[in-house]
Structures are given as structure tokens and as C-alpha cells.
Chains A and B, each alone.
Chain A
Amino acid sequence: MSIRLDNISKQFGKFEALSPLSLDINNGEMIGLLGPSGSGKTTLLRIIAGLENANTGTIHFGDHDVTNVHVRERRVGFVFQNYALFRHMTVADNVAFGLQVMERALRPSPAEMSKRVKQLLEIVQLGHLAARYPEQLSGGQKQRIALARALATKPEVLLLDEPFGALDAKVRKDLRRWLRNLHDELGFTSVFVTHDQDEALELSDRVVVMSNGKIEQVDSPVELYAHPNSRFVFDFFGNVNQFKANWNNKHWQNGNAFILPPVAEATQKNGYLYVRSHELSLSKKANSQASLPCKVVAINPVGAEVRVELSPIGWDTTELWEAKLTHQVLNEQSFSRGDEVYATPQVGYFFADGVRGEPIILRWPFLAPGHLMFDI
């Protein structure tokens, strides 16, 4: 079932939770709503479910206008952040609830019902827990029961609010894959809310990045990574270093650090330069395209890479910089904690002040080899 949101907005008193926004979700798609807390992502999910009414705009499920359809008639599956299992019912009764409250004419016979419950519990691989009560289950088990309960009435739309938020890392990873498989197998349309970018990128066909009640960008994970269209998106996806670039008619200056941009009018401005941590090289010498003196604060080997934390010397950043190097590079250069090094970007993303939209992508070195004063 496709979902079309048109001009949806929501206010809580004077607080504007959602500015008018529109979004098309295709049939069978898995969409991640990603944003920091307070960005309006949960509100949007609840509006899709019908648990919250929008102040303006319309919602269509397929061709059907559901804007004023009550939550119980929208027939969506909803998985709550804290699972919201019914404490006084067994697992089997929880799963059967949606079937038991159906209108008499539509309600399956008791035999069919218990067959369906059994089947659902098998799908979530928890058939052996049918007689337990929710409080006797682990977080991951509760999550899967909540999912089975939501799927019992065969909804075509499944909505999940922070589905893995309360689980530990290992369980989270397993459940993520499992949910993705289930989604592909059963073919419903899913929308889930998360504040974890890894989760959004791993699970979604498309990611909706939100901030302050607005949609910042809607794109596939690959596109989002390659073409983040705003500073917010860049910041939010993390693993990125920020350089406040002040143009002084020669280069970008920040304290006693500088970066020389390629000669082009668009870059000869004040703005922000973003450098991904794996697109940053370190050297013990400065060079003519960039001089970013840093002190090595920490060296953390993580799997195949080494993360080097850098604190700027004589220039300002809001956060420490980070460079991701291979073990080989690190061995060749042999830094240790406390060393003074120079960072040099290989690829940078420049957002000029006052200009909206995608950044200008810069690649170094742009000077012909003969013009370099120092090696990079």
C-alpha cells in the first residue's frame, strides 16, 4: 500500500511540531524517519497511524483518503517504542487480540484464530513462549511479540516507533536483519522512526532526514551519503570534521590554520568545510594547500581501521577532529599520542554561508605537481 502525505502540519499549542510537509511512500518500501529528538519524526509516524490528527493536509493510503479515518479503521500495524504489550495477557492472547476484537462477521473461528496465532509465533520464532506473560520475556522477545501482534490482522502498513531503541547492540543487529527479511518476505510497506543513522542506513530503502519539524532530505542511503544536501544532514550522519572557513582573499583562515581552496568564485567565500574522517591524511609536515596543526589525543584501533582523535592547535572547532587511517598508514608514519601533526583533506564539502542546497565538492591536490611547495 502506498502512502501519500500532502501538506501535513501539526501544532501542539504554540509549538509547531511539524511544518507543512509532503512525502510519497511507495508500495512495499521500507522508509526510515531519521532525526534528533524533537525533530517531529514520532509525531509524523503517529499522524500516519491516526493516533494524532494533523492540523492541515491530507493522507492517502493508496487511492483512499484516510485523513479523517479513525486509527482503528486505518488498519495499520503499530509497534510501540516500549512494546506496550498487555501485561495481564499471555503471549498468545496478546497476539490474538487484534483477531478477538474484530467484528463478529469478520472474526475467524477460535480454531482458525489459534492456528493463526501459532503461525505468527512461528514467524517470530517464539512459539515456545505462547503461555508466558510479557514480564517474563527479554526485551528482544517482547519486541518480536509486539511485531507478531501488529501483524496478526494482516496490515498492509507497518509502523514502528524506535523499534530497537531499548535493546543491546547485539540483539539490535540481529533483529534489524530479521525485520528486513520479514519485510521483504511479507511485502508490507514499513515506516520506522530512529535516531540512529546506522540503523536508518542499513534498513531503509529511503531515509527521510528530519529536523525541527521539517524534512531535510529524502534519499536512498547511498545517495544520502554521496550527496547530503545540507549542513544538518552532514552533521547528523557524523564521522565528519567541520572547519569554519573564513575567506581572507587568499585562503580559508581559522586562527593560525588555513586551507587553500581551488580558484573559483563559489569557494572564495566564508562558510563551512566538511571533511569525512576517512578522507583526511596526516603528516608531520605542513604543505601549501592546508595547514591544520593538531595534537594526537587518542589512537583507537577498531577493526580494519585506526581512528586517530585530533585536537586543533591554535584554531577552533566545536568537536575534536577524527582521522580514519589504515593500520598500514599508521605503521608507516608511526604517530603516537601527544604528537603534533598536520591534517590535510583529500576531499572536502563546502557550504558557503547563505547558500542553500548541496555543497561544492572539492578534491585536493588541485595544483599541478610542479606547483606544490611541499609533498602531501
Chain B
Amino acid sequence: MSGSHAVSRPKHQRVLPGFAISLGVSLLFISLILLLPATGLVMQTKGMSLSEYWYVISDPRLVASYKVTVGSAFAASLFNGVFGLLLAWILVRYQFPGKRILDALVDLPFALPTAVAGITLATLYSSTGWLGNLLESIGIKVAYTPLGIIVAMAFTSIPFVVRTVQPVLEEISQEEEEAGMTLGASDWAVFWRVIMPSLRPALLVGVALSFTRSLGEFGAVIFIAGNMPYVSEITSLMIFVRLQEFDFPAASAIASVVLLTSLSLLLIINLWQGAYLRRIHGK
């Protein structure tokens, strides 16, 4: 069937629009919706000198808020790492009535306005709420404490873990687990040596996304946090406070810290994942 007529189509013809156009359009939109606001943010701080900048971002009350935010986000994303994995696991591995509903419910935190989530959680966990009432009787206070911050952060960011782990879990064939078992591995060994290593990159990305999302969470947290200076104030609230004082440069300075932290974390995770995939595929 070969011959000189075989190549009749022009060399560069593709189904999708050309590289130049699609890249151009993509870059334009990235610039408009991501880079421009970020640049604007940095520009806001340009009136400040380095020492002023440092003064603003190293304010003791603010530093306390960093600790609260990072600590809570860390706890929330760890919690999500465990329970998100569990949730993804049952959604992928088991058939049960209501599975599709549960699957849809996972996205609820994305769909719900975060303020609504915050108010609902605060009501639920306050000392008169259904859950808060119960927890109070065993001496645990959630609403208006740092624990409440963790609950709100975990709630709003759990879909990240479930939705990144789920497809990878679906891809792991049951045969790999069975292969492990026929080779004499215990259930524990199969989980840690066969399943987890394949899942680890996705899980880590999910947890990292959950963490960065928690760092920036505002609406859901402020209603349940209690917002006591040095105890339960989060960094986004501090930005909001500066905005209310019309101190835009200070607000931008704080925001730039959050932005930088999130970006570098995502970049590190991305590089690590890239290296992992290159190793596996040998490229």
C-alpha cells in the first residue's frame, strides 16, 4: 500500500487548532485571570521600602496568625489525607447503595459558598448545636477555637484529596494486589508496598492542594474561628482587617507572603512529581 502517493496530506495539518494560536490564547487568558491580579498585588506594595515591607509582615500579631494558619492548614490537610484516601477508596473499590450520591456529595464543599459553610459549621459546632452539644459534654470545644479552624479548613478542601486520588486508585489494577498476595505478602505489606507507592504522588498532590487552599481559606473559617488575636486569627483575616483600614499596601504585602508560600509549595510538589514520573518511565 505504500508508495510515493502515501503522503498526500500537508505535513503540519492537525485536528486541533495550530500550536501558535492555542498557546497564544492560553497565555492571554492566563495573563488576564492569573498573572494580572498577581502583578497588581505586587504593584500595590511597590510604594513600600524593604524595611517597611518587613515591618508589616513581621508584626507579632501577624506572625501568630501565620502559625495558626499554617498549623491548622497542616492538621486539616493531614486529616484530609487520611479520610480523603479512605473516601476515595470506598468510592472506587466498593459497590453500595447511594454510592453515586456520596460521590456527588464529595464536591459539595466546592459548590457551597464558603461563608454558608462557615455559618453552618459554626451553628452545628456551637455549644447549642447538635454536634457541639455532644462534644461539649465530653469536654471538647470546637466552635470559636483553633479546632474550629481545622474543621472548616478540612471541610472546604477535602474534595482536592478525593478527586486527585480517585482516578489513580481506579487505575491500579486489582491484579497488582493479587500478585502481591500470591507472593506471600500480608494485607499490610500489600497496602504499604504495592498500593501506597503507586498512590503516593497523587495523594501528596491532593494533600498539597488541600494545604494551599486551606492557607487562603477565609469565608468558612472566620465564622467559626472566634478570631481572637494571637489565638485564633488566620492570615486571610489579617488581610481583610488591613483592607478595612484602607491600608492596601499592607494588605498586599501580607497577601504576597501567602501567595509566595503557596506557589513555592506547589512548585516543589510539581518538580518532585515530574522527577518521579521520569524515573518510572525512564525518560
The interface of chain A, by Cβ under 8 A from chain B, is 49-51, 71-78, 80-82, 84-89, 97-98, 100-102, 132-133, 135-136, 149-150, 152-153
Contacts and interface: CB of A to CB of B under 8 A. Distances in A.
Contacts of A150: 182-183
A49 B184 CA distance: 12
List the 10 closest A-B pairs by CB distance, nearest first: A84-B175, A98-B183, A101-B185, A78-B182, A84-B179, A136-B282, A88-B197, A80-B175, A101-B189, A72-B184
Interface string B178-190: 1111111110010
A78 B185 CA distance: 13
A78 B179 CA distance: 7
A133 B175 contact: no
Contacts of A74: 182
B279 interface: yes
A103 B255 CA distance: 54
A97 B193 CA distance: 9
Given A80-B175, A136-B282, A71 B182 contact: yes
Given A86-B194, A150-B182, 14 more contacts: A49-B182, A50-B182, A51-B181, A71-B178, A76-B182, A78-B178, A84-B176, A88-B197, A97-B193, A100-B193, A101-B186, A133-B281, A153-B183, A153-B184
B280 interface: yes
A89 B197 CA distance: 9
Contact of B282 (A71, A88, A135, A153): A135
Given A72-B186, A82-B175, A101-B186, A136 B180 contact: no
Nearest to A137: B282
Interface in B226-283: 279-282
A71 B197 CA distance: 23
Contact of A133 (B185, B186, B193, B280): B280
B31 interface: no
Of the listed residues B175, B184, B281, the one surrounded by the most CB atoms of chain A closer than 10 A to its CB is: B184
B198 interface: yes
A80 B184 contact: no
A100 B185 CA distance: 9
Determine chain B's interface SS by DSSP, over half rule.
Answer: helix
Contacts, number: 81
Contacts of B173: 82, 84
Contacts of A72: 181-186
Contact of B184 (A82, A87, A89, A102): A102
Interface string B158-190: 000000000000000101101111111110010
A97 B180 contact: yes
B178 A97 contact: no
A101 B194 CA distance: 11
Contacts of B194: 86
Contacts of B193: 86, 97, 100-101
A109 B193 CA distance: 19
A153 B181 CA distance: 13
A51 B189 contact: no
Contacts of B197: 86, 88-89
B179 to A, nearest CB: 4
Contacts of B198: 86-88
B249 to A, nearest CB: 48
A10 B189 CA distance: 29
Contacts of B282: 132-133, 135-136
B178 A51 contact: yes
A51 B185 contact: no
16 contacts: A49-B182, A51-B181, A72-B181, A78-B178, A81-B175, A87-B198, A88-B197, A89-B197, A97-B180, A97-B193, A101-B183, A101-B185, A132-B282, A149-B183, A153-B183, A153-B184
Contact of B181 (A71, A89, A100): A71
Nearest to A76: B182
A152 B180 CA distance: 13
B178 A84 contact: yes
A49 B173 CA distance: 18
A76 B179 CA distance: 11
A24 to B, nearest CB: 23
Contacts of A98: 183-184
Contacts of A133: 279-282
Contacts of B184: 72-73, 75, 98, 101-102, 153
Contacts of A78: 178-179, 182
Of the listed residues A75, A86, A100, A149, the one surrounded by the most CB atoms of chain B closer than 10 A to its CB is: A86
Nearest to A159: B182
Interface string B190-227: 00011001100000000000000000000000000000
A97 B182 contact: no
A97 B178 CA distance: 13
A85 B197 CA distance: 13
Contacts of A89: 197
A136 B281 CA distance: 6
A97 B176 contact: no
Contacts of A49: 182
Nearest to B187: A72
Nearest to B276: A88
Contact of A135 (B175, B180, B280): B280
Contacts of B189: 101
Contacts of B281: 133, 135-136
Nearest to B197: A88
B263 to A, nearest CB: 28
Contacts of B181: 51, 71-72
A88 B280 contact: yes
Contacts of A85: 176, 179
A72 B282 CA distance: 32
